[in-house]
C-alpha cells in the first residue's frame, strides 16, 4: 500500500511539473511569437492579442477577464466538469503571461533585420511602443505552432483541459447538438478571422490557421507519442506460412480468428497482429510470397498495452 501511494504521489508531482512547464511555454509562445506578429490562433489569448494591439492593455488582463467568467458560466451550465488542474492551469498561464509581458514586453523573438525607430513598408509595430520590425512570417509561424503544440500537449498530459473559448463550444454543443469538433473550429475560426477585420491583412488569419494546424499535430505527438506501432488484420485462406513467419522470423505473436465471408459465406481465417514499424514493413513485403491473395488492413495504433508492449496501468 505504501508503494502504491508513493507511486501515486510521484505521478501527481510529475503531472504538476508538466502543467507548470506547459503553462510557461504557452506564455512564451503567445507573448514572444504570436502577439508581435498580430496573429490570433484561436482561444481567449488569441482574442486578447487583437484587443492588446487595438487598445493597449496587458494580454493577461484581457484573457483572465474572459477565462474566469467562462469557467463560472461553464460550471453553471455544464456542471463541475472543470477539475482543479484546469483552474490551476488558467491561473498559471495568466501569471506567466503577465510576468513575461512585463519583463520582455511585446518584442518579437524572430524578426528579419534590426529594429527601426520609424515606420517602413512591410514593417509591423510593437504594441505599446514606437519601434517597428520586419516580420519573418513563415519561420515565426512554424516555431509558434511547435511551441503552442508542446505547451498544450503537456497541459493535456498533466490531466488539465484548455478551458477558455472551448467552454463556449461545449455550451453550444449542449443546446445545438452540433459536433464539438465542428463548434471548436467555428469558434476558433471566428477568432482567427478577427485579425483580418481588425488589421485588414489577409495573411494574418492564414498564418494563424497554419499555427493551429501545426499545433494540433504536435499536440498529438506529445499526448500519444510517435505512433510507430501498427495493427495488421490479415484475411487469408492459407494462414500457416504467415503464422510461421510472424512467430519464427519476427519473433512476435498474434491471434488467429475464424470468420465467414459475406459474399459466399466461406470460412476464412483472420490473423490479428500488432508490430512495430519495422516488423510491419517486413510482414507486408513478405505477404507477396506467403499469400499474394491475402486481404490486409494496416492501422495506426495510438496505444498498445500488454505483454511485449507497454505494461497495463495499475
In a domain, 314, yes or no: no
| pLDDT of res. 171 | 78
In a domain, 89, yes or no: yes
φ/ψ of residue 263, rounded to 5: -75, -55
Instruction: Give the tens place of pLDDT for each residue, 237-254.
Output: 888 999 999 998 888 888
| pLDDT of res. 46 | 87
What residue numbers bound the domain in which 146 lies? 2-224
In a domain, 308, yes or no: no
In a domain, 307, yes or no: no
Residues 151 and 246 in one domain: no
CATH number at residue 291: 3.30.70.120
In a domain, 305, yes or no: no
Residues 132 and 193 in one domain: yes
Residues 101 and 126 in one domain: yes
pLDDT band at residue 98 under the 50/70/90 scheme: very high
Given 224, 243, 267, the domain boundary residue is 224
| pLDDT of res. 1 | 45
Domain count within the chain: 2
Average per-residue pLDDT in the chain? 82
The conformation of residue 163, written as its DSSP 8-state character, comes to -
Phi-psi region of 80 (alpha: psi -120 to 50; beta: other; left: phi over 0): beta
Residues 183 and 246 in one domain: no
The conformation of residue 310, written as its DSSP 8-state character, comes to B
φ/ψ of residue 108, rounded to 5: -75, 145
| Whether the Cβ atoms of residue 284 and residue 296 lie closer than 8 Å to each other | yes
Given 224, 251, 266, the domain boundary residue is 224
Instruction: Give the tens place of pLDDT for each residue, 267-291.
Output: 888 999 988 777 888 888 888 889 8
| pLDDT of res. 144 | 93
Residues constituting the chain: 314
Amino acid at each position: 500500500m505504501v508503494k502504491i501511494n508513493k507511486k501515486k504521489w510521484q505521478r501527481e508531482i510529475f503531472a504538476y511539473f508538466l502543467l507548470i512547464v506547459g503553462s510557461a511555454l504557452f506564455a512564451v509562445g503567445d507573448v514572444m511569437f504570436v502577439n508581435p506578429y498580430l496573429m490570433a490562433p484561436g482561444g481567449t489569448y488569441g482574442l486578447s492579442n487583437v484587443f492588446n494591439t487595438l487598445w493597449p492593455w496587458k494580454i493577461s488582463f484581457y484573457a483572465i477577464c474572459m477565462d474566469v467568467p467562462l469557467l463560472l458560466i461553464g460550471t453553471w451550465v455544464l456542471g463541475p466538469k472543470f477539475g482543479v488542474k484546469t483552474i490551476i492551469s488558467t491561473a498559471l498561464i495568466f501569471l506567466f503571461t503577465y510576468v513575461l509581458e512585463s519583463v520582455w514586453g511585446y518584442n518579437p523573438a524572430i524578426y528579419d533585420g534590426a529594429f527601426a525607430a520609424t515606420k517602413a513598408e512591410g514593417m509591423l509595430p510593437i504594441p505599446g511602443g514606437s519601434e517597428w520590425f520586419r516580420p519573418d512570417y513563415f519561420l515565426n509561424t512554424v516555431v509558434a505552432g511547435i511551441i503552442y503544440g508542446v505547451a498544450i500537449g503537456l497541459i493535456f498530459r498533466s490531466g488539465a483541459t484548455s478551458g477558455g473559448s472551448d467552454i463556449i463550444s461545449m455550451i453550444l454543443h449542449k443546446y445545438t447538438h452540433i459536433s464539438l469538433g465542428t463548434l471548436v473550429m467555428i469558434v476558433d475560426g471566428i477568432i482567427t478571422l478577427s485579425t483580418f477585420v481588425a488589421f485588414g491583412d489577409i495573411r494574418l488569419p492564414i498564418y494563424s490557421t497554419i499555427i493551429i494546424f501545426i499545433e494540433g499535430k504536435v499536440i498529438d505527438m506529445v499526448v500519444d507519442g510517435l505512433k510507430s506501432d501498427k495493427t495488421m488484420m490479415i484475411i487469408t485462406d492459407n494462414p500457416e506460412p504467415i503464422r510461421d513467419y510472424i512467430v519464427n522470423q519476427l519473433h512476435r505473436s498474434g491471434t488467429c480468428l475464424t470468420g465467414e465471408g459475406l459474399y459466399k459465406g466461406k470460412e476464412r481465417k483472420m490473423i490479428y497482429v500488432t508490430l512495430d514499424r519495422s516488423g510491419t514493413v517486413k510482414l507486408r513485403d513478405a505477404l507477396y510470397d506467403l499469400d499474394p491473395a491475402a486481404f490486409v488492413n494496416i492501422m495506426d495504433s495510438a496505444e498498445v498495452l500488454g505483454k511485449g508492449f507497454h505494461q497495463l496501468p495499475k
